[in-house]
Amino acid sequence: MTIWGAGAFMLLSYGLGGLLAGYWIGMLKDGRDLRTVGSGNPGARNAGRIYGRAAFLWTFAGDAAKGALAVGCAKSMDAGPVFALAVFLAVVLGHVFPALLAFRGGKGMSVFCGGALLFDWTVWLAMIGVAGILLLVFRAWTPAGLCGVGLFPVLVLYTHQGQGAVVPLLALAITAVIGYAHRGNIKQVWTQQRS
Protein backbone atom coordinates (compact mmCIF):
# COMPACT_ATOMS: atom_id res chain seq x y z
CA MET A 1 0.00 0.00 0.00
CA THR A 2 1.29 3.45 -0.92
CA ILE A 3 1.61 6.21 1.65
CA TRP A 4 -1.22 8.05 -0.15
CA GLY A 5 -3.45 4.99 0.05
CA ALA A 6 -2.69 4.53 3.75
CA GLY A 7 -3.38 8.20 4.41
CA ALA A 8 -6.68 8.07 2.52
CA PHE A 9 -7.74 4.96 4.45
CA MET A 10 -6.92 6.61 7.77
CA LEU A 11 -8.88 9.72 6.75
CA LEU A 12 -11.88 7.53 5.88
CA SER A 13 -11.51 5.79 9.25
CA TYR A 14 -11.51 9.15 11.01
CA GLY A 15 -14.68 10.10 9.12
CA LEU A 16 -16.29 6.78 10.04
CA GLY A 17 -15.45 7.40 13.69
CA GLY A 18 -17.25 10.73 13.50
CA LEU A 19 -20.58 9.05 12.76
CA LEU A 20 -21.75 8.84 16.38
CA ALA A 21 -24.56 6.31 16.74
CA GLY A 22 -26.06 7.97 19.82
CA TYR A 23 -26.13 11.38 18.20
CA TRP A 24 -28.07 10.10 15.18
CA ILE A 25 -30.43 8.02 17.32
CA GLY A 26 -31.32 11.18 19.24
CA MET A 27 -31.79 13.15 16.02
CA LEU A 28 -34.05 10.46 14.56
CA LYS A 29 -36.02 9.88 17.77
CA ASP A 30 -37.01 13.43 18.68
CA GLY A 31 -34.43 15.78 17.24
CA ARG A 32 -32.47 16.07 20.48
CA ASP A 33 -28.69 16.21 20.60
CA LEU A 34 -27.56 13.72 23.25
CA ARG A 35 -24.60 15.98 23.97
CA THR A 36 -27.02 18.51 25.51
CA VAL A 37 -29.16 16.20 27.67
CA GLY A 38 -28.54 13.76 30.50
CA SER A 39 -24.82 13.32 31.12
CA GLY A 40 -24.01 15.21 27.94
CA ASN A 41 -22.26 12.21 26.43
CA PRO A 42 -23.58 10.78 23.13
CA GLY A 43 -22.59 7.28 24.22
CA ALA A 44 -24.55 4.12 24.95
CA ARG A 45 -25.14 4.75 28.65
CA ASN A 46 -26.63 8.19 28.13
CA ALA A 47 -28.68 6.95 25.18
CA GLY A 48 -30.02 4.21 27.44
CA ARG A 49 -30.92 6.69 30.18
CA ILE A 50 -32.79 8.94 27.78
CA TYR A 51 -34.39 6.46 25.37
CA GLY A 52 -34.26 3.04 27.03
CA ARG A 53 -32.47 -0.29 26.67
CA ALA A 54 -32.89 -0.63 22.92
CA ALA A 55 -31.17 2.73 22.38
CA PHE A 56 -28.33 1.60 24.66
CA LEU A 57 -27.84 -1.59 22.63
CA TRP A 58 -28.06 0.12 19.24
CA THR A 59 -25.65 2.86 20.28
CA PHE A 60 -23.12 0.45 21.72
CA ALA A 61 -23.38 -1.87 18.72
CA GLY A 62 -23.15 0.98 16.22
CA ASP A 63 -20.10 2.57 17.80
CA ALA A 64 -18.36 -0.77 18.39
CA ALA A 65 -19.02 -1.73 14.77
CA LYS A 66 -17.12 1.37 13.60
CA GLY A 67 -13.98 0.29 15.41
CA ALA A 68 -14.37 -3.31 14.31
CA LEU A 69 -14.97 -2.37 10.67
CA ALA A 70 -12.02 0.03 10.43
CA VAL A 71 -9.52 -2.28 12.14
CA GLY A 72 -10.88 -5.40 10.43
CA CYS A 73 -10.49 -3.83 6.98
CA ALA A 74 -6.98 -2.62 7.85
CA LYS A 75 -5.95 -6.10 8.98
CA SER A 76 -7.41 -7.68 5.84
CA MET A 77 -4.86 -5.69 3.82
CA ASP A 78 -1.97 -7.52 5.53
CA ALA A 79 -0.15 -4.24 6.07
CA GLY A 80 0.97 -5.23 9.58
CA PRO A 81 0.11 -4.17 13.13
CA VAL A 82 1.48 -0.63 12.73
CA PHE A 83 -1.07 0.19 10.03
CA ALA A 84 -3.90 -1.57 11.93
CA LEU A 85 -3.14 0.44 15.08
CA ALA A 86 -2.80 3.69 13.12
CA VAL A 87 -6.26 3.07 11.64
CA PHE A 88 -7.53 2.16 15.12
CA LEU A 89 -6.20 5.49 16.42
CA ALA A 90 -7.84 7.34 13.52
CA VAL A 91 -11.30 5.88 14.16
CA VAL A 92 -11.03 6.58 17.90
CA LEU A 93 -9.96 10.18 17.20
CA GLY A 94 -12.89 10.56 14.82
CA HIS A 95 -15.30 9.40 17.52
CA VAL A 96 -13.88 11.56 20.30
CA PHE A 97 -13.16 14.62 18.11
CA PRO A 98 -15.61 14.50 15.16
CA ALA A 99 -15.01 17.36 12.72
CA LEU A 100 -18.65 17.44 11.61
CA LEU A 101 -19.82 17.93 15.21
CA ALA A 102 -17.43 20.75 16.14
CA PHE A 103 -14.95 18.20 17.58
CA ARG A 104 -17.32 17.37 20.48
CA GLY A 105 -17.85 13.63 20.40
CA GLY A 106 -18.14 10.66 22.70
CA LYS A 107 -15.72 9.09 25.14
CA GLY A 108 -14.72 6.25 22.84
CA MET A 109 -15.23 3.18 25.02
CA SER A 110 -17.56 1.38 22.60
CA VAL A 111 -15.46 2.08 19.51
CA PHE A 112 -12.39 0.98 21.48
CA CYS A 113 -14.05 -2.32 22.37
CA GLY A 114 -14.86 -3.06 18.74
CA GLY A 115 -11.43 -2.05 17.47
CA ALA A 116 -9.53 -3.96 20.16
CA LEU A 117 -11.53 -7.12 19.49
CA LEU A 118 -10.61 -7.10 15.80
CA PHE A 119 -7.02 -6.06 16.42
CA ASP A 120 -6.25 -8.96 18.77
CA TRP A 121 -9.01 -10.97 20.42
CA THR A 122 -6.61 -12.41 23.02
CA VAL A 123 -5.69 -8.90 24.19
CA TRP A 124 -9.40 -8.02 24.20
CA LEU A 125 -10.24 -11.04 26.36
CA ALA A 126 -7.48 -10.16 28.84
CA MET A 127 -8.76 -6.60 29.17
CA ILE A 128 -12.35 -7.77 29.62
CA GLY A 129 -11.20 -10.25 32.26
CA VAL A 130 -9.31 -7.60 34.23
CA ALA A 131 -12.20 -5.13 33.93
CA GLY A 132 -14.63 -7.80 35.14
CA ILE A 133 -12.53 -8.55 38.21
CA LEU A 134 -12.08 -4.85 39.01
CA LEU A 135 -15.80 -4.29 38.60
CA LEU A 136 -16.23 -6.37 41.76
CA VAL A 137 -13.77 -4.05 43.52
CA PHE A 138 -14.94 -0.64 42.30
CA ARG A 139 -18.65 -1.53 41.96
CA ALA A 140 -18.67 0.83 38.97
CA TRP A 141 -18.07 0.12 35.30
CA THR A 142 -16.15 3.30 34.35
CA PRO A 143 -13.06 2.89 36.60
CA ALA A 144 -12.98 -0.87 35.96
CA GLY A 145 -13.24 -0.35 32.20
CA LEU A 146 -10.58 2.36 32.20
CA CYS A 147 -8.17 0.08 34.04
CA GLY A 148 -8.79 -2.54 31.36
CA VAL A 149 -8.12 0.02 28.63
CA GLY A 150 -4.97 1.11 30.46
CA LEU A 151 -3.56 -2.38 30.03
CA PHE A 152 -3.87 -2.20 26.24
CA PRO A 153 -0.35 -0.89 25.46
CA VAL A 154 1.22 -3.30 27.96
CA LEU A 155 -0.59 -6.29 26.47
CA VAL A 156 0.17 -5.17 22.91
CA LEU A 157 3.85 -4.82 23.81
CA TYR A 158 3.81 -8.36 25.20
CA THR A 159 1.88 -9.99 22.34
CA HIS A 160 3.70 -8.14 19.54
CA GLN A 161 7.30 -8.40 20.67
CA GLY A 162 9.82 -7.78 17.94
CA GLN A 163 7.49 -5.47 15.98
CA GLY A 164 9.39 -2.32 16.93
CA ALA A 165 8.66 0.63 19.22
CA VAL A 166 5.94 2.14 17.03
CA VAL A 167 3.43 -0.61 17.87
CA PRO A 168 3.28 -0.02 21.67
CA LEU A 169 3.50 3.75 21.12
CA LEU A 170 0.41 3.70 18.90
CA ALA A 171 -1.37 1.51 21.45
CA LEU A 172 -0.38 4.03 24.13
CA ALA A 173 -1.72 6.89 22.00
CA ILE A 174 -5.09 5.14 21.65
CA THR A 175 -5.24 4.62 25.41
CA ALA A 176 -4.27 8.25 26.00
CA VAL A 177 -7.14 9.52 23.82
CA ILE A 178 -9.63 7.34 25.75
CA GLY A 179 -8.14 8.56 29.04
CA TYR A 180 -8.38 12.19 27.94
CA ALA A 181 -12.02 11.72 26.96
CA HIS A 182 -12.67 10.30 30.44
CA ARG A 183 -10.63 12.92 32.32
CA GLY A 184 -13.71 14.11 34.21
CA ASN A 185 -14.52 10.56 35.33
CA ILE A 186 -10.91 9.95 36.36
CA LYS A 187 -10.86 13.15 38.42
CA GLN A 188 -14.14 12.17 40.09
CA VAL A 189 -12.88 8.69 41.01
CA TRP A 190 -9.60 10.16 42.29
CA THR A 191 -11.47 12.67 44.45
CA GLN A 192 -13.74 9.97 45.88
CA GLN A 193 -10.78 7.72 46.73
CA ARG A 194 -9.02 10.55 48.58
CA SER A 195 -12.08 11.66 50.56
- Residue ranges per domain, the chain? 3-194
Q: Is the pLDDT of residue 81 over 90?
A: yes
Q: Is the pLDDT of residue 116 over 80?
A: yes
Q: Are the C-beta atoms of residues 167 and 82 closer than 8 Å to each other?
A: yes
Least confident of 84-98, 118-132, 134-148: 134-148
- Model confidence band, residue 155 (pLDDT cutoffs 50, 70, 90): very high
Q: Is the pLDDT of residue 71 over 80?
A: yes
- Rounded Cα gap, residues 27 and 31, in angstroms: 4
Q: Could you report the per-residue pLDDT of 159-184, keeping only the tens digit for each?
A: 988 778 899 999 999 999 999 998 88
- Rounded Cα gap, residues 128 and 149, in angstroms: 9
Q: Is the pLDDT of residue 195 over 60?
A: no
Which region, left, alpha or beta, applies to residue 19 given φ > 0 means left and ψ of -120 to 50 means alpha?
beta
